[in-house]
Homo-oligomer: A and B are copies of this chain.
Amino acid sequence: MVLIVLDLAGVAVFAVSGGLLAVRRQLDVVGVLVLAVVTGLGGGVIRDVLIGDVPPPGFADWRYLLTAVTAGVVAFWFHPALERTIRMVNVFDAFGMGLFATAGAIKAVEHGLGPVPAALLGMVTAVGGGMIRDVLADRVPQVLVSNELYAIPALTGAALVVLGLELGLPAVAVAVPAALAVIVWRLLAIWRGWTAPSPRSPR
């Protein structure tokens, strides 16, 4: 019960970020709602298609859809207020990322994937929705370009979860500290401006 509430909170935060990008790009109401839904649910849907859990629960379960659509409507009406609280959106987004990475890894392990693919799918769950959002908005996915620490904490959190499950620990005992570690790491990265390394500039 707590888990589903946290999961839905992650969907809502991601969906708001999709809706706000749509507003900034001057898309219409369809664009705002579609970007909200694909950002909120896209990562989970990619994971579910790859592990063969179709129709994806995030798509077939009305609570997920309703959450994402509601977040889109909120972004449509209240985007000026939301933009002023963009720092708060980033904080929520860190929570969504931590929750999605760990929950995605647990689901992948439960479906019989090996440790490395399961950890990767955890990361995909966390970053996939945002990547679809950016492709639809015709820009390079920010997670690939922004030099912010985002995918690396997500992958680390997912890997910790997989490690704990391999050691036979119960899912909750593994997921909660892993998600917290990821969220704290991400918040510190925002606060301190930590970045991921870049290749030497070509020429």
Contacts and interface: CB of A to CB of B under 8 A. Distances in A.
B145 A196 contact: no
B28 A145 contact: yes
Contacts of A80: 200, 202-203
Nearest to A132: B135
Contacts of A62: 114, 116
A3 interface: no
Interface string A22-43: 1111111111101100000000
Interface residues of A, number: 62
Given A34-B151, A136-B141, A23 B59 contact: no
A144 B22 contact: yes
A136 to B, nearest CB: 6
A79 interface: yes
Contacts of A172: none
Contacts of A29: 196-199
A40 B151 CA distance: 19
A135 to B, nearest CB: 6
Contact of A28 (B113, B139, B147): B147
A168 B139 CA distance: 45
B55 A52 contact: yes
A164 interface: no
Closest 9 CB pairs of A and B: A31-B144, A52-B54, A30-B151, A28-B196, A28-B198, A138-B140, A28-B147, A23-B199, A27-B144
Interface of A: 22-32, 34-35, 45, 49-52, 54-56, 59-60, 62, 65, 75-77, 79-80, 83, 111, 113-114, 116-117, 120, 131, 135-141, 143-147, 150-152, 195-203
29 contacts: A22-B144, A23-B202, A24-B202, A25-B140, A26-B145, A28-B144, A28-B145, A28-B197, A29-B197, A30-B150, A30-B151, A31-B140, A31-B143, A31-B144, A32-B199, A34-B144, A45-B50, A49-B54, A50-B55, A59-B117, A59-B120, A62-B116, A65-B116, A65-B117, A65-B120, A79-B200, A80-B203, A136-B141, A138-B140
